[in-house]
Structure 1
């Protein structure tokens, strides 16, 4: 009997293509776009590179760096967490979250080394760093020293970054549980269970804390708002409608992080919709048909998204009207979009970064990270991070790189 099975999102395109399609349609669904030559050559400056353990490899982990002041923090799946000077890459401290970190003798004798299975993070708040593991632990470290302050077990795997706000930490797990924890002690304030279907994507929505509520997407394609102080549901709104006849076709996970701008909530689901909702009531303001399991980004009056098939799209925040879409990166397993200078940046499974003009949607620069790859068929990724004029990239093999790009005028 199939119970709460998880599937990697990137493998679905190929699987779905085999469910009753014509041969040419199958080829279209599974084909990967070849990169077109660019008319312009733009030099990307590599400021520095540093190693962050062994990275996440082929495992499903979402461990993105985070910048606080002059420091950038990064982590590896095995359990290493490091702090670097964000300007020159000098290491400030290194920590290991495992209760019994391996010693040098362990490596010399080639003894088995247990992984911490870090899978969700990093979140910086309250002078601490917060992260989660596949074994169901939430862990807090001091930003200043890297000391492990506490670890608390919750119900289910934590494969998305914890949320911080209003004096609390919130996490969602693959078992459908949402929990609120005290940031200083790790004490659980409440845990609430949401529905999980028999088959869902391998991932969970990272919660958002805003206006006294915890907002989180569910595996049943709904946006749920939970009162932070009581742990009881305030309202729930479907953002996807179950369609199709097979289990795979009926996947409707809302695994993307909810975006809150003022009193408006923006959410997106796989095989579902991009919706704008009123924060207080849950009333739908507008709805557009897009499918994605990646987080969305916004700047000023524009929202940017990468859909499940690799298109990058710009829409108006006020009404959801599409401004432009770029489909040149079809099936290239894109990261979520980030705003960098006058471009939108996405990475792909071959280690390329594509710089897309914010106004026109045209790819105007490209950079390939050496020997690195960003996404793969197992899912998980480390999204690029922007701070000041630098773009920080952590590849799946654990290389953290700071790059800069001049203002591009094509």
Structure 2
């Protein structure tokens, strides 16, 4: 078996400028962008109850972040990266460096790690592997990648913008296989879906979740969460976006501004889909899924059938990140640098954590008992319950 069991954690361009343009619309409706005469004003923040208490335990720094960063956690080590090519492994308990290095080129996607090997993709279309702060190999890709590499089973897997999945030996960089799927005119400049469930590599390919054999790349199953619609390339754009919510064999994901849905990865069968107009990934527990819509409305859906459990519009137009379930709360970052802690039961505000005000660059992540946030200016923050 290529993958050992583990806990759930995450161009073919006809017109390259179009891809960047679509990515810039990821936080709002493609159609409302053109029709709205004025920019909506962010909702005024309400008082918080302070029922959930947390304090800043430490802070560190990495380079500014404008690419789709994935904060990777392995044990007590947090892996982060900055635009300038800097990559760091931090101790989640103290914020101190375990190691820090640079890959010598701007970064387009990262960081993936299994705790030993870390991997990023540069804007020069190279996947670079690092171990103990030292580069051990780099390989050229045929297309740009916006999804963090996935490292598991001694291999590094990369999902590229041409809908190809590439597997490399984790120690040597030797390419093991490539699975190429039909391409579309447009893709998102945004993190997609790439994870393992048991011994299956689960990948987002256009609007479908696909299960691949990690040994050779052959496709075991496909399950559609969304299908192309509309009459032009923009309207027909469909992509699955990270993060996802996994509960055992069930993986739930969002299709960009189209729907959310859940798939049984053991059988490769679609359980349900529901319309949803969001651009960021989802997270959840065994009862609910949580997500943010493009207008900043936060929703909870029942995991069993996708029916809505609650909604709140207290964070409208605040450009929210994907959520993270942490304790009794749902943690969500915004463009003003706040981390909002909402109740999992009804969405009420429980607390609000502050950073440097430059905006939260990636979905918050949990490392042990420490909530990790990274800002656009490169601030890395660790918060712990009081």
Q: TM-score of the superposition, structure 2-length normalised?
A: 0.86
* Alpha-carbon offset, residue 255 of structure 1: 2.4
Which has the larger displacement, 274-283 or 352-361?
A: 274-283
Match for 1:385 among 358, 365, 375? 365
Equivalence for 2:225:
239
Equivalence for 1:17:
32
Match for 1:215 among 202, 205, 227? 202
Match for 2:380 among 400, 405, 408? 400
Equivalence for 1:163:
150
Following TM superposition, where does structure 1 have runs of at least 4 consecutive aligned residues deviating by more than 6 angstroms? none
Is the Cα contact below 8 Å between 1:342 and 1:358 reproduced in 2?
yes
Residue 264 to residue 206, structure 1, CA distance change in 2 (3 Å):
closer
Match for 1:3 among 6, 11, 15? 15
Match for 1:172 among 155, 159, 168? 159
Match for 2:77 among 49, 61, 71? 71
Separation in 2, partners of 1:184, 1:295: 31
* Alpha-carbon offset, residue 10 of structure 1: 4.7
Is the Cα contact below 8 Å between 2:253 and 2:260 reproduced in 1?
yes
Cα deviations across residues 160-202 of structure 1 (Å, max 9, x unaligned)? 1112334432110112211111212121111122233223322
Match for 2:100 among 76, 85, 94? 94
Equivalence for 1:46:
56
**Structure 1: gaps spanning 5 or more residues:** 99-115, 375-380
Please identify the structure whose Cα radius of gyration is greater.
Answer: 1
Is the Cα contact below 8 Å between 2:288 and 2:303 reproduced in 1?
yes
Cα deviations across residues 244-274 of structure 1 (Å, max 9, x unaligned)? 3443332222123454432323222013221
Summarize the alignment of residues 102-117 of structure 1 with structure 2, pairs less than 5 Å apart: 116-117=105-106
Separation in 2, partners of 1:288, 1:184: 42
Residue 181 to residue 39, structure 1, CA distance change in 2 (3 Å):
closer
Separation in 1, partners of 2:243, 2:183: 17
* Alpha-carbon offset, residue 41 of structure 1: 5.1
Separation in 2, partners of 1:276, 1:64: 22
* Alpha-carbon offset, residue 15 of structure 1: 4.9
Equivalence for 2:130:
141
Q: TM-score of the superposition, structure 1-length normalised?
A: 0.82
1:16 counterpart SS class: helix
Separation in 2, partners of 1:18, 1:394: 27
**Structure 2: gaps spanning 5 or more residues:** 1-12
Residue 182 to residue 284, structure 1, CA distance change in 2 (3 Å):
same
Separation in 2, partners of 1:343, 1:384: 12
